[in-house]
Amino acid sequence: MNVVCIGTGYVGINTAAALAYIGHSVCGVDIDEHKINLLKSHKAPISEAGLDELLSQKMNLTFTTCLEDCVNTADVIFIAVGTPSLPNGHANLSYVMSAAEDIANSLMPIHDVTIVVKSTVPVGVNSMIERQIRDKVTMRCGSDALLHFSSNPEFLREGMALSDTFYPDRFVFGTEDDKAYQMLTTLFAPIIDQTFEPPAFVEMPDPRPKTQCIHTDAISAEMIKYASNVFLALKISYANEIAGLVEKLGGNMDDISRGMGMDKRIAPYFLKSGLGWGGSCFPKDSLALLSMAKDYDYQMPIVQAAVDVNERQKTRLIQKVIDKLHILPGRRIAILGLSFKPRTDDVRNSPSVDIAKELVRRQAIVTVHDPQGLDNARVIYKNEGFIFCTDPIEAAQNADAIIITTDWAEYKNIDWKDMAKAVKTPFLFDARNLLRNELDKVKDFVYIGM
């Protein structure tokens, strides 16, 4: 099939490349010329395991900044652009609406074409997009009969994006149009049936999963995405709330999470306590859900509590540091980890960065390190007063305390003996509980977990 993917961010580029790999002819479109030029030379604009290798495969994958180049041969058009938060918590729909506008202005359907919203959009936006495109295409071409629409939310995780794209737990197709459903199930058939040759450079879950499909209406599909993301976020906040009580009462939170997770109804995932959740989905989606509810005069105290507990984790950590160092002005503090989670260079919406900023605000001298995110951080946070260090030991020199803010596996294998020699005072705050079960490694430190 001929596919167009508008947006080459995490969702768009992984979807485009995976669809090309399974045999479709795909064109990725983005307004960002720099990204498109990188992609044309088979380079990924984001750091994602296996993506560079996938982009250099021999397959039918092209890129352009001009939607008109490819829109009229497409069987399926994906809208996969960002929906970041507005200051009031609502999702910013300007990119989605502008993609819809571009489609509406350039599409001249001479065969069936299905327009699919992959971007995470508030409930009702699929229907709004459909209306806008239908009206304009009818005005220009006299008919909208060949147009079909579906919501198809995406659940990939950064750092595992390709693995999640090739081996998803489920597909959600939100459409009441049989043709759209049929086109999408045909398009994704090799993934739904897991009949494609597994790419060697993409991590495959063991056992290879059975992908499930749910066919529902667009409103339910939109809500499945928000309800799933926010449920995961509140699961983590619940674990963090329990961990705070365990800290007072005694007990081992890792064992408690493991014990809870042995119940199939609870499952062992997203129960890891620590500094809390960040990234480009959980924070924005929980705020968007709260904003949607507010618009309809509906309270969501559980979601609100998940957000509050997540914020409280940062305050708890700062308080722990103050309890040991007493004053912060002039203290030298090494932050290990800036990305919002390991295995990604994405340092946006990261609780680790919030901690570094707060320490700077309180006049501490803050050195920062990250195994992958340093280059991004140097650009995005160049005016935050951080001292960027390419090595953890450099960050630790003469420090009054070290804080592990992201659970990078690399930090387990640092020579902690050398780190202890480098610091001024051996306080180690492990805000991700990375070394909680390997205290031998850090026995030269006063160890404080979360």
Check residue 156 for interaction with ligand UDX (CB under 6 A): yes
446 vs 425: CA distance, rounded Å? 9
Hey, which bits of 309-418 come out as E strands? 332-336, 365-369, 387-388, 401-404
Q: Pattern 318-357, binding to ligand UDX, x per CB under 6 A?
A: ----------------------xx----------------
Q: Which of 12, 278, 337, 426 binds ligand UDX (CB under 6 A)?
A: 278
Q: Which of 279, 392, 426, 449 binds ligand UDX (CB under 6 A)?
A: 279
**Half-sphere exposure in the Cβ direction for 386 (13 Å, CA):** 29
Check residue 281 for interaction with ligand UDX (CB under 6 A): yes
With CB under 6 A, what is the number of residues at the site for ligand UDX?
20
- Reported as type and span, the H/E element at residue 63 is strand 61-64
Q: What is the CA radius of gyration of the chain?
A: 24
Stretch that binds ligand UDX, among 25-33, 60-68, 196-204, 265-273 (CB under 6 A): 265-273
Q: Which of 150, 229, 286, 376 binds ligand UDX (CB under 6 A)?
A: 229
Q: Residue 299: is it exposed, middle or buried by C-beta count within 10 angstroms (0-12/13-18/19+)? A: exposed
Q: Which of 236, 366, 396, 448 binds ligand UDX (CB under 6 A)?
A: 236
Check residue 447 for interaction with ligand UDX (CB under 6 A): no
CB of 156 to ligand UDX, least distance (A): 5
- Of 120, 156, 149, 157, nearest to 133 by C-alpha is 149
Place of tokens 């409103």: 219
CB of 14 to ligand UDX, least distance (A): 11
CB of 278 to ligand UDX, least distance (A): 4
313 vs 431: CA distance, rounded Å? 9
CB of 369 to ligand UDX, least distance (A): 17
The interface with ligand UDX within residues 92-151 (CB under 6 A) comprises: none
Pair type for strands 113-117 and 147-151: parallel
Question: Quick check: 146 and 74 in contact, CB under 8 A?
Answer: no
Active site residues: 281
Where do contacts with ligand UDX occur on this chain (CB under 6 A)?
154-158, 229, 232, 236, 270-272, 274, 276-279, 281-282, 340-341
